[in-house]
Amino acid sequence: MPEQIPVQGSAQGPGQVCVAVVGATGVVGQEMLRILAERHFPVGELRLFASPRSQGRVISWDGGDGPRECTVEVLREGCFRGVDIVLMEVESPLSREWAPVAVREGAVVIDNSSAWRMDSAVPLVVSEVNPHALQTHQGIIANPNCTTMVLMPVLKPLDTAATIARVVVSSYQAVSGSGKAGIDALAVEIDKYGNDLHALARSGVTGVEPAQTVYPAAIAFNVIPACDDFADDGSCETKEERKLVAESRKILERPDLHVAATCVRVPVIAAHSMSVNVEFRDKMPAAKAREILAAAPGVILAGNGPTGFSTPLHVAGTDSTHVGRLRDDETRPNTIDCFIVGDNLRKGAALNCVEIAELLLKNAALRLC
């Protein structure tokens, strides 16, 4: 029996483009397939690629014109001939190897790895924030890191209104940011340690070790103050933190922007959260920021008061960045605080890739390089 992607789009006419999803059997790849169906993307032919261990798997996908049984293929020379758009969800070394191959064979690549994000010749795009950057693409378009992605729809309209001088971000990142392995690690550890919660309350708990090698410490009932590997220059910064800084500057076209980041892994399945302190060069009271964000595309503004916030469980499976706890920072002029939450698998990865593809089709001049 073929595997089912449990989403169907509405009925539509014949598709118009050939779409390839590379990494189709992974967590984000499967989300891409769901979103393609949900948004009725005009898929004429769907090609699925994954690692050799998934070769030959049959996945059933229904974009609204009836179910299709797609056999998973492996990457090989010539495999992208006839493909218009490639949604690529693989590790950076594979992207560096295969994205140029896809472009040579006539496709446009929308890549979700870090391989191309800081390449000056490759646009780094958030659909609501800088779609104009697509005008310069040469066949490869980079999708930002999931944390950066969730943050940008909030920062962009604020920066336009009253130039941002400095941003301090503390992230609380879900285990799905580490893929299926992160989810599995949390599940195993909850099962292993969850039956003796009182033992976890004593000082200096011993014997609680990571059940798998995904994280350097147990993630269940814990937080780990590091996401990704540490930089090898003795700075005590992680690569995730550096991505957030560098990508924010590139997307906002603000190379002078001061960004300080601390990225933390938390025992949440889906949706990254951030506590954000934003200092402006110009006057920007919280009341004005609320007006701006209430009208910002891709942003949902929570109310004030005891329920004026969203949580990962509120936003998991949704498409927008949620912002709440919006208030003036009484310790610094022209500074506000807020709490931001967004689904790292959808808004932070798969959705933006599909939205970029939609923008390519909307402007026929961008469709092919």
Q: How is residue 349 written in tokens? A: 């990865």
Residue 305 in contact with residue 317, Cβ under 8 Å? Answer: no
Question: How many residues would you count in the chain?
Answer: 369
The reply to whether 18 belongs to the active site is no
196: tokens are: 């003796």
d(CA 211, CA 249): 37
Position 34: which residue type?
R
Q: Are the C-beta atoms of residues 348 and 149 closer than 8 Å to each other?
A: yes
Q: In degrees rounded to 5, what are phi and psi of residue 357?
A: -60, -40
Burial 122-156 (b: 16+ CB within 10 A, else e): bbbbbbbbbbebbeebebbbbbbbbbbbbbbbbbb
Catalytic, out of 18, 70, 146, 263: 146
CB 130 within 8 A of CB 251: yes
By DSSP bridging, strand 108-111 and strand 43-49 are: unpaired
- Cβ contacts of residue 143 below 8 Å, gap of 6+? 110, 111, 112, 124, 125, 149, 349, 352, 353, 356
267 near 223, Cβ under 8 Å?
Answer: yes
Considering the candidates 18, 70, 137, 272, report the single residue annotated as catalytic: 272
**Which of 34, 79, 28 minimizes the C-alpha distance to 55?**
79
Q: Is 314 a catalytic residue?
A: no
Tokens at 91, concatenated: 């590790």
Which residues are designated catalytic?
A: 146, 272
